[in-house]
Amino acid sequence: MTSKIEKNLLAAAVAGAIGFAAAPAQAVDAEVSGFVNRAFMSADDGEDSRTTFVDNTTANSRFRFTGSQEIRPDLRAGVFVEFAIPSSNSSAVSIQNPSTPFSVNERHVDAFIEGGFGKVSLGQGDGAGNGAMEVDQSGTFIAGYSAANLIGGGVAFRNENTGALGPTIGATYSNFDFYSRHDRVRYDTPTIGPGLMVSVSYGTANGQEDATELVARQNVDVGFGQLSWALGTGSQGGTGTDINGGSGSLLLDNGINVTLAAADAENNATGNDAGTLFYTKVGYTTGPHSLSGDYGNTEDRAQDGDESEVFGVQYLYRATDWMDLYVAGKQHSLDRDGTDFDDINILFAGTRVKF
């Protein structure tokens, strides 16, 4: 059976062959970049607590190779290869299991060609909808955003009466940001009007065939600030999910910003709700300093009737163009009929250094 990586390398080879036939032989010059994003996380489930050192899954440590070459003045082809290198994922560690093994994980193995017609990408990469629930101009994104389960997602709620461990934050909360990175072909239109672009993709995601996504995005100056938004729909065949939703963020000229996100997911196999999201953040940026507070609510994810909530505060200091320092505090709660759970409190602080 052909592996995922083999298929992606084959796609890259085909794209390279096309470029070779269309232009004189010349290798694409690749650039190496990435960052290390490390933090400490202290979690308290109401009975036990643990402090551990983690890789921040909101933007995990990674390295990448990127490059492109002009085929002719109006046509360019290139590659995007990226691997995550986390040790102890902040989304997976828990009070009982404070570490996860070091791993090298495929994020992108992608070939693309672009010109006046737009951009076509083939390989392992972002589906058209990836990031549509995550538009955020607060400046505190890596300290906390709509995917609140990426920090402390492995920590379990504890039964208030019996002390038994229940579902985890990650099992009860999600921002339903479509189907992430997967094998697909994707098309992005050129800019339509002021900052508007439409993307569509088709591929295989999460073991499900027929993963289709359609999303519109815009980043536009509205006179008194910058408005960014994304809105889309996605569908998976088999036992996958249908997702509708989007997000938007307004950054005013005075540094005040407001972010909203909402999503609805439905299980294709049963036709039942797979969960809903409502998220909002209010922040302020001045110079290198960004401060924000947020609230997120996911309903019906682990079971019907569940309400998983998070309140958080975040601060980020941009020390230089290549270094960020940040700290965040969060409180997660789970409301479930017939069972009372203690809140989970998390303190999180770290740094991202780019290279």
Q: Cβ(327)–Cβ(348) under 8 Å? A: yes
Mean pLDDT score, 147-151: 98
Whether residue 65 is predicted with pLDDT greater than 60 in this model: the reply is yes
Of the listed ranges 7-16, 123-132, 134-143, the least confidently predicted one is: 7-16
Judged against a pLDDT cut of 80, whether residue 184 lies above it is answered with: yes
Q: Are 275 and 265 a contacting pair, CB within 8 Å?
A: yes
Q: What is the reported pLDDT for 14? A: 35
Alpha helices per DSSP H over the chain: 4-22, 169-172
What b-and-e string marks burial along 276-315, b requiring 16 or more CB atoms within 10 Å of the CB?
A: bbebebebbbeeeebbbbbebebbbbbeeebbbbbebbbb
Model confidence at 15: pLDDT above 90: no
Percentage of the chain lying above the pLDDT 70 cut: 93
Record the tokens describing residue 156, joined without a space. 């379990």
pLDDT tens for each residue of 245-297: 999 999 999 999 999 999 999 998 777 889 999 999 999 999 999 999 999 99
What's the CA dihedral at 135, 138, 139, 141 to 10 degrees?
-50
Instruction: Give the pLDDT confidence score for residue 320 in this predicted structure.
Output: 98
CA 83 → CA 5, 34, 177, distances in Å?
Answer: 12, 9, 20
Q: How far is CA 229 from the centre of its chain?
A: 15
Is 90 within 8 Å of 54 (Cβ atoms)?
A: yes
Structure pTM? 0.90
Residue-wise pLDDT for 165-181, tens only, equals 999 999 999 999 999 99
**Mean pLDDT of the 5-11 span:** 36
Neighbours of 248 (CB within 10 A): 18
Whether the pLDDT of residue 70 is over 90: the answer is yes
pLDDT grade, residue 30 (50/70/90)? Answer: confident
Specify the pLDDT at position 23. 42
Task: Using CB atoms within 10 Å of the CB of residue 17, give its burial: 0 to 12 exposed, 13 to 18 middle, 19+ buried.
Answer: exposed
Indicate the average pLDDT of the chain: 92
Tokens 């998220």, residue located: 279
Beta partners for 283? 257, 292
Taken in order 205, 264, 258, 253, is the CA torsion positive or negative?
Answer: positive
The first and second tokens of residue 35, run together, are 């960052």
pLDDT of res. 7: 36
Residue-level pLDDT at 26: 61
Residue 81, both tokens: 């290869």
Domain spanning 4-354: CATH 2.40.160.10: yes
In 3D space, the residue among 287, 267, 285, 284 whose CA is nearest the CA of residue 276 turns out to be 267
Asked if residue 353 has pLDDT above 60, the reply is: yes
pLDDT of residue 272: 84
Can you read off the two tokens belonging to residue 80? Answer: 């995007």
Q: Which run of H or of E encompasses 209?
A: strand 208-221
